[in-house]
Structure 1
Amino acid sequence: MKILVTGSAGRVGSFVARQLLGEGHRVRGFDLKPSGINSPEFDEVVGDFDDAAAAQRASNGVDAVLHLGAFMSWLPADRDRLYRANVDGTRIVLEAAAAAKVGRFVFASSGEVYPENKPEFQPVTEDHPARPLSPYGVTKLLGEELVKFQGRVSPMETVILRFSHTQNASELLDPTSFFSGPRFFLHPKIRQQEGFGNALAVEKLKALDIGEEALVLTRNENGRPFRMHITDTRDMAKGILLALTHAKAVGGIFNLGATEPVDFADILPAMAKKTGLPLVAVDLPGAGVWYHTSNARIRETLGFEPEWPITRMLDEAVSAWTRRQT
């Protein structure tokens, strides 16, 4: 099979592309920058998803599309780019795929369509109302509607995967990581909140600064530690490949992620113990992040079983952190 992987230069897309190549498939990448993948069975189109000519070149001659690429931002200045990439881009890639008579189209959506931060019930299932609270979540929900529409009006099989937050295990203890840095480390969190313009949060965080890097346990304004899903890239790839090949995936919407959420009250002390880094705690304004999303449908329908719980990810993260210290 020849498979188009959009977002082929990203964390998930590059991993999936390499895994497909290892399984003997031919792969085409499509992203804003080259993937760095070197294989005689790999070619790529470098360009924007909303470039119709680039999308057509990318889709021609492929059997399936894994539309994993997206632009992710929560900054007001990025709104136009967010909608161009995630809404217009998804529409254009879908139309190019349909015109090329692609057999199956798998779309990477997001748990932010629900909303995760203010769920009406937990665990959050695929039947939870889709009421996003972020512009990013809105763009992914609009993308879902475009995918469902194309599934109705063309022979192309479609699958929607609502992604959990995804990380490489080695990133968990990397303060330079775009996500894990400000999630778990004090200095990156200060810089993040300064970028968001959250003056009160910055004041609270700076009051904890001991002059050296520290881990930070984030709690809401009532002292409840954060809880969220963090899923290893390898488990996400496993679910994506099931969506690509499984007969029962067609027409489905599936939450894809770890079975259990990560409780910050548990993981931060474990990180501190394993690294020897100091740990501070902060109560930030607002309700905070606290959710549990169910992956029961994809487990029961497609046989998905995650293999990388947070404890196993942490062991690998500690090894990577130790290597960086030497």
Structure 2
Amino acid sequence: MTAQTILVTGCAGRIGARVARHLLEVGHRVTGFDLCASGIEHPAFREVIGGFDERAAAAEAVRGADAILHLGAFMSWLPTDRDRLFRANVEGTRILLEEAAAVRPARLVFASSGEVYPENMPDYQPLDEDHPLKPRSPYGLTKLIGEEMVRFFERTSGVPATTLRFSHTQDASELLDPGSFFSGPRFFLHPKIRQQEGFGNMEAAAMLRAVDDGTPALVLSRSELGRPFRMHITDTRDMVAGILLALQSENAAGRTYNLGATAPVDFAEALPLMARATGLPLKTVDLPGGGVFYETSNARIRAELGFEPEWTIERMIAEAAAARAGTA
């Protein structure tokens, strides 16, 4: 791939920053676009600070772009954040695409989400790219609208686009960090209590408080019928590899792919590994409702682009344990 100028939105995020740094390392020029500075320092790196819905900033960001990786988004599941969610993910994507159409880059890659599916109420499993799109969260709805805008952009501009439906993504080192935005409330008791209270799920919070003795602990979440949670958790490094394949492969033009780990994580298997790694007690709580339980297929991207994720959950936990031991 000859040297290009590539716009990376969300360059201050865990995925965008890694993608930007890789592109710089292999000789590309990179423009970063995000609300806050990425901290990347490189002679071939240019940065635009601003919201995606700020037209002047979007126009400056796309200037000279040979390819665009629209990886940035605002993520929240709090009702109080919905206006911001739609401004960033819907209006921001619309404005960015309008400015991109005037520049006509050679390629566009758009980061969507597995939440465009009804992940916890699927018509069938594993969820593949042909599964009906029926988001059940406002965040998933913003991503589905984004996908439609990308298809419109592709039809009207003639620029080939690739849509990647992202798995839930983690840096391995975050898995055993109770302060992590994602892993804290997913695996640790006290952050999970605070999360459920923030969501207004007071029945769930009360169930969690019932097993809380005041000391730090991990929590194995199960449905009200006792089924352990199950979902995909993909290492950031595997996500970056998939994004780069989508950017570089001509076969990816016009295609949509699920991007994520091959196998879902069974919490009943993963949490005991985390408990051994941390020495923390493990509490088991049956929460109201059907819980989190889904499997998504990455067969298409593996077959068409040669994507092969390398970081299993066991390997991620082992790395997280080593990182935790190093900071203890």
Report the TM range for the smaller structure's normalisation: over 0.9
**Residue 99 of structure 1 is aligned with which of 102, 117, 135?**
102
Q: How many angstroms apart in 2 are the aligned matches of 1:36 and 1:313?
A: 25
Kindly state the Cα deviation for residue 185 of structure 1 after the two structures are TM-superposed: 0.4
Kindly state the Cα deviation for residue 57 of structure 1 after the two structures are TM-superposed: 0.4
- The question of 1:315 aligning with 2:314 is answered no
Partner of 2:174: 171
Kindly state the Cα deviation for residue 101 of structure 1 after the two structures are TM-superposed: 1.6
Q: How many angstroms apart in 2 are the aligned matches of 1:324 and 1:287?
A: 37
Q: How many angstroms apart in 2 are the aligned matches of 1:287 and 1:109?
A: 25
- The question of 1:304 aligning with 2:307 is answered yes
Opposite residue 89 of structure 2, the aligned amino acid is N
Where structure 2 has 5 or more consecutive residues not aligned to the other structure, the ranges are none
Q: How many angstroms apart in 2 are the aligned matches of 1:223 and 1:302?
A: 38
> Could you give the per-residue CA deviations for residues 269-312 of structure 1, whole angstroms, max 9, x where no partner exists?
11112221110100000110000000000000011000111111
> Could you give the per-residue CA deviations for residues 30-55 of structure 1, whole angstroms, max 9, x where no partner exists?
00000000111101100010111111
Kindly state the Cα deviation for residue 155 of structure 1 after the two structures are TM-superposed: 2.0
> Could you give the per-residue CA deviations for residues 128-167 of structure 1, whole angstroms, max 9, x where no partner exists?
0000000100000000000001111112110000000000
**Residue 218 of structure 2 is aligned with which of 177, 191, 215?**
215
Equivalent residue runs for 1:21-40 within 5 Å: 21-40=24-43
Partner of 2:123: 120
**Residue 258 of structure 2 is aligned with which of 252, 255, 267?**
255
Q: How many angstroms apart in 2 are the aligned matches of 1:19 and 1:186?
A: 36
Q: How many angstroms apart in 2 are the aligned matches of 1:183 and 1:74?
A: 14
Structure 2 contact 176–278 (Cα < 8 Å) conserved: no
How many residues were matched structurally? 325
Opposite residue 232 of structure 1, the aligned amino acid is D
Q: How many angstroms apart in 2 are the aligned matches of 1:270 and 1:225?
A: 15
Kindly state the Cα deviation for residue 95 of structure 1 after the two structures are TM-superposed: 1.2
- The question of 1:227 aligning with 2:242 is answered no
Runs of 4+ in structure 1 over 6 Å off: none
Partner of 2:199: 196
- The question of 1:50 aligning with 2:53 is answered yes
> Could you give the per-residue CA deviations for residues 222-250 of structure 1, whole angstroms, max 9, x where no partner exists?
00000000000000000000111101000
**Residue 285 of structure 1 is aligned with which of 259, 283, 288?**
288
1:314 is paired with a residue whose SS is helix
Q: How many angstroms apart in 2 are the aligned matches of 1:103 and 1:147?
A: 14
What TM-score does the superposition give when structure 1 sets the normalisation length? 0.99
Partner of 2:137: 134
Q: How many angstroms apart in 1 are the aligned matches of 2:64 and 2:278?
A: 49
Equivalent residue runs for 1:271-282 within 5 Å: 271-282=274-285
> Could you give the per-residue CA deviations for residues 185-242 of structure 1, whole angstroms, max 9, x where no partner exists?
0011011111111111111111111221111000010000000000000000000001
Structure 1, 260-269 or 16-25: larger mean CA deviation: 16-25
Partner of 2:209: 206
Partner of 1:19: 22
Opposite residue 106 of structure 1, the aligned amino acid is V
Opposite residue 187 of structure 1, the aligned amino acid is H
Opposite residue 69 of structure 1, the aligned amino acid is G
Q: How many angstroms apart in 2 are the aligned matches of 1:272 and 1:57?
A: 48
Structure 2 contact 12–37 (Cα < 8 Å) conserved: yes
2:128 is paired with a residue whose SS is coil
Equivalent residue runs for 1:54-69 within 5 Å: 54-69=57-72
2:61 is paired with a residue whose SS is helix
Give the percent of matched residue pairs that are identical in Structure 1 and Structure 2: 67
Opposite residue 223 of structure 1, the aligned amino acid is G
> Could you give the per-residue CA deviations for residues 10-33 of structure 1, whole angstroms, max 9, x where no partner exists?
111111111111111111100000
Q: How many angstroms apart in 2 are the aligned matches of 1:232 and 1:255?
A: 14
Q: How many angstroms apart in 2 are the aligned matches of 1:135 and 1:203?
A: 26
Opposite residue 174 of structure 2, the aligned amino acid is E
Where structure 1 has 5 or more consecutive residues not aligned to the other structure, the ranges are none
- The question of 1:153 aligning with 2:156 is answered yes
Q: How many angstroms apart in 1 are the aligned matches of 2:242 and 2:100?
A: 22
Partner of 2:81: 78
Kindly state the Cα deviation for residue 64 of structure 1 after the two structures are TM-superposed: 0.4
Output the aligned Cα RMSD.
0.7
